[in-house]
Amino acid sequence: MDVFLEILKYALPSIFLLILTYMMLSNYAENDERRRMYFLKKDTQKNALPIRLQAYERLALFLERINPDRLLVRVSSKNLTVSQYQTLLNQQIRSEFEHNFSQQIYVSDEAWSFIVSAKSSVVGMINSWAQELKPDEPGAKLRELILNKVMEMESFPTKRALRYLKNEVHKNF
Structure confidence by residue, pLDDT tens digits, 28-40: 999 999 999 998 8
Question: What total number of domains does the chain contain?
Answer: 1
Contact 146, 68 (CB under 8 A): yes
User: Tell me, what's the pLDDT at 40?
Assistant: 87
pLDDT at residue 45 greater than cutoff 80: no
Q: What is the pTM of this model?
A: 0.76
Q: Does residue 75 sit within a domain?
A: yes
Of all residues in the chain, the percent with pLDDT exceeding 70 is 100
Q: Does residue 15 sit within a domain?
A: no
Buried residues in 80-114 as b, exposed as e (16+ CB within 10 A): bbbbebbeebeeebeebbeebeebbebbeeebbeb
Alpha carbon 94 to chain centroid, angstroms: 17
Per-residue pLDDT reduced to its tens digit, 76-100? 989 999 999 999 999 999 999 999 9
Q: Does residue 37 sit within a domain?
A: no
Q: Does residue 146 sit within a domain?
A: yes
User: Tell me, what's the pLDDT at 6?
Assistant: 82
Q: Does residue 164 sit within a domain?
A: yes
User: Tell me, what's the pLDDT at 48?
Assistant: 82
pLDDT at residue 65 greater than cutoff 90: yes
Q: What value does the mean pLDDT take over residues 107-119?
A: 97
Domain interval for residue 59:
50-172
Model confidence at 44, in pLDDT bands (50, 70, 90)? confident
More confident residue, 55 or 154: 55
Q: Does residue 34 sit within a domain?
A: no
Model confidence at 135, in pLDDT bands (50, 70, 90)? very high
Closest to 66 in 3D by CA, of 144, 158, 130: 158
More confident residue, 5 or 64: 64
Q: Does residue 44 sit within a domain?
A: no
Q: Does residue 156 sit within a domain?
A: yes
